[in-house]
Amino acid sequence: MEQDDRLLNAMFEMCNHKNPLNDGHREWHIADISGLLREERYDELDERYNQALTESFTSREAEKRYFFAWNQMDNPFYDMDTLVEAGPQGLALIKNWQRARPRSTHAWLAEAQYWNHRAWLYRSYGWARETTRAMWICAAACNERMVIAALNAIDCEPRQWMAAALTSTNSKVFGQPDWLVEFLVGADVAGQPLMEDLAEYHRHSPQELSRIHIAE
The domain locations on the chain are 2-215
CA distance linking residue 163 with residue 113, whole number of Å: 8
> pLDDT in tens for each of the 216 residues of the chain?
444 455 445 444 443 443 343 334 567 899 999 999 999 999 999 999 999 999 999 999 999 999 999 988 767 788 998 999 899 999 999 999 999 999 999 999 999 999 999 888 887 655 556 667 677 788 888 898 999 999 999 999 999 999 999 888 888 778 787 777 777 777 776 655 555 655 554 554 554 444 444 334
Instruction: List helix spans (H) across 56-205.
Output: 60-70, 81-85, 88-100, 105-123, 133-156, 161-174, 178-184, 193-204
Distance of CA 198 to the CA centre of its chain: 20
CA distance linking residue 160 with residue 16, whole number of Å: 35
DSSP string covering 163-203: HHHHHHHHHHHH---HHHHHHHTT----S-HHHHHHHHHHH
Listed in sequence order, the residues at least 6 apart from 82 whose beta carbon sits closer than 8 Å to its beta carbon are: 32, 33, 34, 90
Residue type, 202: H
